[in-house]
Amino acid sequence: GQQVMQIPQYQHVQEGEDFTTYCNSSTTLSNIQWYKQRPGGHPVFLIQLVKSGEVKKQKRLTFQFGEAKKNSSLHITATQTTDVGTYFCAGPLMRSGGSNYKLTFGKGTLLTVNP
Amino acid sequence: GAGVSQSPRYKVAKRGQDVALRCDPISGHVSLFWYQQALGQGPEFLTYFQNEAQLDKSGLPSDRFFAERPEGSVSTLKIQRTQQEDSAVYLCASSLAPTSQPQHFGDGTRLSIL
């Protein structure tokens, strides 16, 4: 079954509003990666978080990795039309004999921004 | 080239035909991945190569799916006797190191089975 879940599935905002997407894994992740996929495009790497409780910022984007390394969030401040796309979290599931190369992706959150 | 290149971009085939999808990874990238992405879903892992060795093929849906990377560079994903449920976007990604590193994706091949 679904091992990495993301909510919400869709989010529509007015330009300038904030946006947050949440990622939850049923299994501890060795790290969490975030990707952005524009409509008709391919996933593009945004960031990787490795440490428990880690917070990283990229301009208007703030990424967090939970203390238990099972959840993560992406927050965008003051959205712009260029932020439109689907945001995926992905990570290698830590389990006995598990690999650290095999990414399990969430279903993604589709963000649309009304100008 | 600067990025991962996939061909063809679009492929339409009749049910029962065989198809071959090509991936040219970033030069020097050790790791190569194939994913299947259905509409509205995240990419799902199919198989992983480290250089020419296929280390993990646990995601291949059936024995109709076959992938190779004979010289550790270009890779081909082959699907035999295609079925309608094979319709999806097939993404290739490469990364510099064997471990979990940022993956660079190609534009994908959109496969439609009629």
- Which residue out of B36, B100, B107 would a mutagenesis test of the A interface target, given it has the greatest number of A Cβ atoms within 10 Å? B100
Q: Give residue B42's domain range.
A: 5-113
CB B34 within 8 A of CB B44: no
Amino acid code (one letter) for B73: S
Topology annotation, domain A4-114:
Immunoglobulin-like (2.60.40)
pLDDT tens profile B51-90: 999 999 999 999 999 999 999 999 999 999 999 999 999 9
3-class DSSP string for A15-59: CCCCEEEEEEECCCECCEEEEEECCCCCCEEEEEECCCCCEEEEC
User: Between chains, do B42 and A107 touch, taking CB under 8 Å as contact?
Assistant: yes
User: Between chains, do A107 and B41 touch, taking CB under 8 Å as contact?
Assistant: yes
Give the CA-trace dihedral at B59, B63, B65, B67, to 10 degrees.
80
Q: Does A31 touch chain B (CB under 8 A)?
A: yes
Structure tokens at A45: 């790497």
User: Between chains, do A41 and B103 touch, taking CB under 8 Å as contact?
Assistant: no
Q: Tell me what pLDDT residue B101 has.
A: 79
- Domain CATH for B9: 2.60.40.10
For chain A (115 residues), the mean pLDDT of every run of 10, in chain order, is 87 98 93 95 95 97 96 98 97 68 92 96
Looking up tokens 């952005």 gives: A36
Domain boundaries, chain A: 4-114
User: Between chains, do A101 and B105 touch, taking CB under 8 Å as contact?
Assistant: no
- pLDDT exceeds cutoff 50 at B103: yes
Which chain B positions have a beta carbon within 8 Å of A106's beta carbon?
42
Residues of B with CB under 8 A from a CB of A: 31, 33, 40-45, 48, 56, 91, 93, 95, 98-100, 102-108
Q: Does A41 touch chain B (CB under 8 A)?
A: yes
Q: Give me the mean pLDDT over the B6-25 stretch.
A: 98
For B71, half-sphere exposure in the C-beta direction (CA atoms, 13 angstrom radius) is: 7
- pLDDT exceeds cutoff 60 at B1: no
Looking up tokens 């299994």 gives: A27
Tally of domains within chain B: 1
User: Between chains, do A88 and B99 touch, taking CB under 8 Å as contact?
Assistant: no
